[in-house]
Structure 1
């Protein structure tokens, strides 16, 4: 068995695209080798990346495919042989199978006697397969943006390909892509090592050779070194610590090949600006790490991750340059903050008429008015259900939520949209409730983000996002496939998360019914939000897919209720009685489906079983037990005691088992048949309001 190394060298890849591409290349190479029977499915596959390369190293790769035998069936025996002599048909089949005439055999099948042969298929070499297939896999990698770079050539990639390294042990795999032919050469750090090529004689030499050329190809090792360096530099600042920022660590990891950390500082006077502004300037614009004191307050220091290891003189020059740039950015922020205060947020509302939300929908002023109508209706609904909402603060927050789009600070630092509005509202004395609602309006931006901490902020977030989604759907701009240019899935995820994790007594249908939208849009939104609830239950809450399917089949309008039902179902999923009920409900569903297809039954009609047709003791027992159990289950369901309700439903097992053991449903007598169908349909619908047990997959 051999080791296989494949590296693609490029011009610098955008940091945000590297991790996904690294994982996809590794997956594609592994799938290719497994599909071609060149390695086991569990073979060790390691992947590496830097801004200038993607690489995969696979151990335990065969030199060639194993030969295989294939059983072939040809023409009928009577056509292939006449009077015991082979005909042209027999010769043709033997040639096709690659065997001698004497190797042909007679194969008896239900259709008659045919000619058979065992063909030996020679396996292809690994070099041959990789040479042919790797370029296809490379070209198929998904990039959010890619480019042409050779005039008149068809290939597209994220950046121009500069070199290919492909080794199967010591042998070069002659892969070619975009006019670049693979060799056994790679390249080290552009500055610290220069442009000289590095020869790799075997895959096992790869990491060591790159380390010697000032490149750490292992992403996790590079991340670890960055963290250690951040810790070490922070210790030179008394009582300080760098502010944890996993996303920024990830970014600088993908921006560097041989990282080091350099400290810097700024004047304390800038700390008069809000921390959010200072951190955004450092983090999003300069990729600097903020530093805080022991109390978590921002300190006048920062840390920079460099892609080189400069000497002391160069470090000092770089530090002064970083400080000068940061000082200029802080001065801009301070200037914009001061200028913006000349026009209070309340006086900026009219300015939103000149800010377009969407050319086919209208301005942000019009959107604000619609947001306000929906938000106030939702607040009234929440209030009627026992949740106190400060309606005055909510209305003010909704009206002013988008006004920071007209401020100079947001125009310069767009990442601070919403946050700036909240800071200005507090600074202008509009009240903490208003400030908090505006500040948190765009949270959660992702599944790991917190929801707004106040009811006013939650309702503002719901109204704003729902109005956006509904307006986009109304003009035909719903997401399709992987395309979602307006981030509507992300907005819907946020709505589901707020409904799930807040105390608001609101449902998805209450949003649709309160908003002024057509029935067609409502129907589309119902399906759209069902997908988002499924995503939340599976990816955020971690419920098994069959539990999610079972719960969603019983409805997902009330997100918190769906979560409670999923939790209860997960807790009793291992019960033998529930497993038997699940099997029985699958059988009921199949029987009813087949009966409907034959037009012997309709689930759309009222089909209550008639007692006079319950002749068999087993069906009488099931009917009586279901009638007795239904009120108790309904009472437990109404009080959301779902686990106890499921345990009660599981007690139906012996009666269901006896019914299917003793009773034939699809009998000739139409009246009896319809009555038995009505009985099992009543059992299914009566006990499926918590979950559709037929969706459970039980071993």
Structure 2
């Protein structure tokens, strides 16, 4: 049976731009999946998704007019239920067969056509039938209905359509936006579908203003994108339109020369792609005097409010030019350029006004106002939060840099939240911290303090830079620890995919700073020092928070390519200095590659089981009670190699420490072959348990090697 390519398009009013890409992919994917499930398309059928501001479409290759008939075997019931003692059909069996469409006029013949086969402990009756394959008309209708139902629509709209039936009136339709057209073509043939009150045809609409004809008639499924581009002035494909915008942005920046480039922002690019059907990039500019305002403010207002692409010079500094992606291509674009320049000017003027007004008050003068801003109803005000962060910061800073660092961190922590009360941050919350740094410099504070204020939210996201100064690291650690301890202390924990206070991100930030800065701080000490600053407001959830942080660390390490066994072996010992974890993992990986590793890991697992059953065991060994040659040899080997391994461990050479201990493999194997640990004589049993306890402690300083056992 020959196949044709299929096209389905829904023509609607402007779709939500931030959801368009996902909607397009979901619509095409669900439609193709449903066709495959019904046998109308194969796994080899190619699916192309189209999504523009006013349409969702899918092109599916090699779609059949009718799916192949399919042989199906159905289990009916146990033989004991379907047949009586004489082997004749029971009423229950005949009723079941009739329901399946089988001919039961001759019960004996109907029974003879059935198959008997084992089903668990009993025999069952099976019925073979041929299911007629779905036709494209019915199968595509079902696929389209399901694709519409499964769309990840952010919010449904309800609208009315005039009824097309004999009875007058209106019918309610629920969809992401009002739909006005439906195209369904199998090759060049219209498939008679209905959806959202519409009947399928071959006509759609092009660009609102620049289409060559209206309506745009699609003659063949394979000519969809070409016809829309030629007659409708629309680039139908999301990725094709996005690539066109990227190309035009680069060309426009290159024409200006001097190494100028458009700012890179993938989310903005996706959003703009979802706003235009026929992109046309134009160069605009604003008055250079606005560049006195911090560039972060100008960039944010242009991107967030106007969807413009700011232009940076070769040094990454903002220029007074920007790019706009227009949806029209007039011969004279001066009116479009002028309009966009007029629109952006008040936005930039607002930013300049906020900046000028904010600098009339110092950050220090705003600190008192934080006591009137609620942070959390169980944790008090932002002012109280600041005092807690200050106390935690001083405690962290003292062992890292003494009183000088503690004083710098205290000053930065005191001022870090003050910019929350500024007009600029009130308008653009994304600039909190950044504006604090600018205002700190204006107040005459040192660059170190300004950096610490600016960086104390870092890292804000995966891959974000860490704070640049020691004071910044201290305040960032203190800020994240205050959030984690406070939220855990009131039981406000993440659940499933819900994490409103970004506790997972805060935990990963703490982990990254401790590891990447290799800070000589112990995790338990950090957490223990943070609880008292809350007083009676929270309960001590130290263990739960530590578990949470180690879980985040385990996930991060696995994402970096370490195996689950390696990560479990190292983190089972709860290393306190997270900066050492990478070296511990490297040592475990090197140990696992040794030929002695499997046997020693298995022995470690066996030793752990013996000690667990024995309860409290004293690691002391009396050499006089070592009777068997194998236990004497193990003790002597330990006397030789364990001190060397311990010295290497203390020196931080974890790989060498484990490799030294690998020399015990032969003595350990012989011990378990020849020695009965749980001897009847009490002193012998306790001595042998003590020997194993001392061996276990020596071998598991780097990691729990039993976790490497298969």
> What does residue 484 of structure 1 align with?
499
Task: Map 1:466-545 to 2 at 5 A.
Answer: 466-516=481-531, 520-539=540-559, 541-544=560-563
Instruction: Report how far residue 610 of structure 1 moved.
Output: 9.1
Tell me which residue corresponds to 2:294.
274
Q: Is the counterpart of residue 344 in structure 1 residue 362 in structure 2? A: yes
Change (3 A) 1:146 1:71: closer
Residue of structure 1 equivalent to 2:239: 220
CA contact (8 A) 1:148 1:154 kept: no
* Structure 2 counterpart SS, 1:149: strand
> 2:129 maps to what in 1?
120
> Quick one: distance in 1 between partners of 2:187 and 2:212?
27
- Correspondence for 1:328 among 346, 350, 357: 346
Change over 3 Å in CA distance of 1:428–1:682 after alignment to 2: same
Q: Is the 8 A contact 1:382 1:389 kept in 2?
A: no
For the 8 Å contact 1:135–1:177, the answer to whether it is kept is yes
Query: What secondary structure does 2:420 align onto?
Result: helix
CA contact 1:533–1:559 (8 Å) conserved in 2: no
Structure 2 residue aligned with 1:101: 111
Specify the alignment match of 1:421 in structure 2. Answer: 436
Report what 2:260 is aligned to: 241
Q: 2:193, 2:664 → 1: CA distance?
A: 64
Asked whether 1:70 is paired with 2:73, we answer yes
Q: Which residue matches 2:105?
A: none
Q: Secondary structure of the equivalent of 1:302?
A: strand
Flag the 1:69–1:694 CA change in 2: closer, same or farther, 3 A.
farther
Secondary structure in 1 matching 2:438: helix
**C-alpha separation between the residues in 2 aligned to 1:587 and 1:227?**
58
Contact 2:20–2:51 (CA under 8 A) maintained in structure 1: yes
Cα distance in structure 2, aligned partners of 1:123 and 1:617:
79
Distance in 2, matches of 1:550 and 1:211, equals 59
Q: How many residues align?
A: 681
Consecutive unaligned residues of structure 2, counting only runs of 5 or more, are 103-108, 161-169
Structure 1 residue 224: Cα displacement: 2.4
Rounded Cα–Cα distance in structure 1 between residues aligned with 2:185 and 2:670: 66
Distance 2:297 2:635 in 1: 68
Deviation readout 1:79-132 (Å, 9 max, x if unpaired): 7254565555665676678583223355467846x3543523526427445543
The answer as to 2:587 corresponding to 1:560 is no
Q: Does 1:192 align with 2:210?
A: yes
Distance 1:675 1:177 in 2: 82
C-alpha deviation, 1:418, in angstroms: 1.2
Task: Evaluate the alpha carbon distance shift between residue 616 and residue 79 of structure 1 in structure 2; reply closer, same or farther with a 3 A threshold.
Answer: farther
Q: Deviations over 1:522-574 (max 9, x none)?
A: 233223323432343344x3545554455444436544333444455556766
1:149 and 2:168 equivalent? no
* CA displacement at 1:421 relative to structure 2: 1.0
The match for 2:469 is 454
Q: State the secondary structure of the residue aligned to 1:300.
A: strand
Q: For the residues of structure 2 that align with 1:405 and 1:694, how far apart are their CA atoms?
A: 51
- TM-fit CA distance, 1:432: 0.7
Q: Deviation of residue 7 (structure 1)?
A: 4.5
Residue in 1 that maps onto 2:324:
304
How far does residue 514 in structure 1 lie from its aligned partner after superposition?
1.3
**1:568/1:18 CA distance change after superposition, 3 Å:** farther
Moved more, 270-279 or 633-642: 633-642
Quote the Cα distance in structure 2 between the aligned partners of 1:651 and 1:280.
62
Q: Which residue of 2 aligns with 1:430?
A: 445
Q: 1:345 Cα shift? A: 1.2
What is the correspondence of 1:575-586 to structure 2 with a 5 Å cutoff? 578=597, 584=602
Matched, 1:262 2:282: yes
Question: What are the equivalent positions in structure 2 for 1:592-671 lying under 5 Å apart?
Answer: 592=609, 602=613, 605-606=616-617, 635-645=647-657, 647=659
How many angstroms apart in 2 are the aligned matches of 1:174 and 1:619?
86
TM-score with structure 1 length normalisation? 0.81
Max radius of gyration: which structure?
2
| 8 Å CA contact 1:104, 1:115 repeated in 2 | no
- Deviation, 1:261, is 0.8
1:370-409 alignment runs, 5 A limit = 370-383=388-401, 390-409=405-424
